[in-house]
Amino acid sequence: MNAPTAVLDGVSMSYGRVQALAATQLSFDSGVVGLLGPNGAGKSTMLRLLATAMLPSSGAITIAGHLATGSMAERTAARRRLSYLPQEVGFPRRMTAFGFLDYVAVLKEWDDKTARHREVCRVLELMNLADRRSKRVTSLSGGQRRRLAIAQALMGQPDLVILDEPTTGLDPEQRASLRSILSRYAEHGTVLLATHQTEDVSALCDRVIILDDGQVCFDGTVTALIDTARGQVWMGPVANIDALSSWRTGSGEIRSVGGQPTPANRPAEPAVEDAYLLSRAARRGPARPETIQPGSAAAVKARS
């Protein structure tokens, strides 16, 4: 039986008195795993822990059979098997795109210069940056820099690719291209990505985990997540009563998530975003800041 790529065994993390991640038990096999959650939910903390960028307050982390929370040698062995894209990346000013990737490749222990240069050229090509290879990083656009940061994470064949909001700043074409690349990576390894883009999750992920307030509140397939919202999403001329969230779509109809439907509304096919909103609301309680009440000024405006 194949061993999981990564295992979190009772892992928790606290910053002083603030608990960022409650005791968590998760294991990751090959495939793309999406990590959803609001800001401050603990997504980046979980990713940093998995990337061995910091040690947990308690629990054990295993990456490709190496105990990352063990000795320095084990942690280094784990690092050889993963790559990580942090959420915010600052680049060295005087390096070119090629120079930056080449430098990072050496840090990743590519000591054979020919093989290293070949790999750098491959990822530059992969991220459509081959014509920018000799440009200084500071002269690249925001999207190009983001692609360069992703390129460093795609070097080699890591067992675990950890990406913290990789699609931020990418245009739709680049996002589609990245999805294609990541799905190919997932054939032989695990891709774990934290994102706020629910369409990325529905288009790419085999599995989705929702984190809220440092706790895992959903862990399952995308289909299972969407099923939790079935029968709670409606379309019609007016918003549902007490809808969790409602908005006017491009067709002019109001899409309502949760709440009591009016007779004029009909059930709609739920999406990941609807399920995510409902999952959040189930934890949050009764507050519904985004509801458009029927008959309210906002609803009238939406109808008009």
Partner 1 sequence: MTAVAAAPLSVARRRSVLAQLARKEIHRYGTHPLFLLGVAMVIATSIGRADRVLSSLGNVIVPAAALGVMGLLVMASLVRGSDRAAAAAGVTAAGERTRTLALASAVVVPLSVSLGWLAWAVWAYHRWPTPPSSLPFGPAGDAWAYGLLIALGVLPALGGPLLGLVLGRWVRFRGAAPTAAVLLVMLTVVMQGLFEPVRTVRVFAPWTYFGGPYGTVDEPNRILLFSGSPQWYCGYLAALCVLGVVVAVLHDREAPRRRLVVTAVVVLVAALVLGTLAMTRGVPETMVNPLSTAQP
With CB under 8 A as the contact rule, which of the stretches 32-40, 85-93, 171-179, 229-237 interacts with partner 1? Answer: 85-93
Residue 119 within binding range of partner 1, rule CB under 8 A: no
Distance separating alpha carbons of residues 163 and 86, to the nearest angstrom: 7
Query: Quick one: 76 or 180, whose CB is closer to partner 1?
Result: 76
Is 125 among the residues that bind partner 1 (CB under 8 A)? no
Task: Single out the residue of 13, 42, 81, 193 in contact with partner 1 (rule: CB under 8 A).
Answer: 81
CA-closest candidate to residue 66, choices 159, 165, 133: 159
Please, are residues 43 and 164 in contact by the beta-carbon 8 Å criterion? yes
Q: Which of 26, 67, 89, 235 binds partner 1 (CB under 8 A)?
A: 89
Q: Which residue, chain included where needed, has tokens 């969230």?
A: 245
Q: Which stretch binds partner 1 (CB under 8 A): 107-115, 171-179, 247-255, 283-291?
A: 107-115
Nearest alpha-carbon partner for 42 in 194, 169, 213, 177? 213
Judged by CB under 8 A, does residue 291 bind partner 1? no
User: Which range touches partner 1 (CB under 8 A), out of 66-74, 192-200, 233-241, 265-273?
Assistant: 66-74
Residue ranges of alpha helices (H) inside the chain are: 43-50, 72-79, 97-107, 113-126, 142-153, 172-185, 198-204, 222-227, 272-284, 297-303
Q: Binding of partner 1 at residue 111 (CB under 8 A)?
A: yes
Should residue 134 be labelled a site residue for partner 1 when binding is judged by CB under 8 A? no
For residue 80, give the amino acid letter. Answer: R
> Sheet holding 215-221: strands in order across?
82-85, 160-164, 190-194, 31-36, 207-212, 215-221
In the block, residue with structure tokens 């002019």: 252
Residues numbered 154 to 193 that lie near partner 1 (CB under 8 A) are 159, 162, 188-190
Q: Tell me how far, at minimum, the Cβ of 123 lies from partner 1, in Å.
A: 12
Say if CB 180 and CB 21 are below 8 A apart.
no
Residue 32 phi/psi, 5-degree rounding, is -100, 125
Q: Is 243 in the site for partner 1 (CB under 8 A)?
A: no
Min dist CB 140 to partner 1, Å, is 13
| Residue 144 within binding range of partner 1, rule CB under 8 A | no
Q: Does 151 bind partner 1 (CB under 8 A)?
A: no
CB nearer to partner 1: pick between 150 and 229: 150
Q: Does 133 bind partner 1 (CB under 8 A)?
A: no
Which is nearer to partner 1, 116 or 255 (by Cβ)?
116
**Of 43-62, which residues contact partner 1 (CB under 8 A)?**
51-53
How far is it, in rounded angstroms, from Cα 137 to Cα 95?
6
Residue 58: CB atoms within 10 A of its CB come to 13
Nearer to partner 1, 72 or 297 (CB): 72
The size of the chain, in residues, is 304
CB closer to partner 1 out of 82 and 302 = 82
Interatomic CA distance for residues 120 and 168, integer angstroms? 23
Which parts of this chain interact with partner 1 (CB under 8 A)? Answer: 2-5, 29-30, 51-53, 64-66, 72-73, 75-77, 79-86, 89-95, 100, 102-104, 106-109, 111, 113, 149, 152-153, 159, 162, 188-190
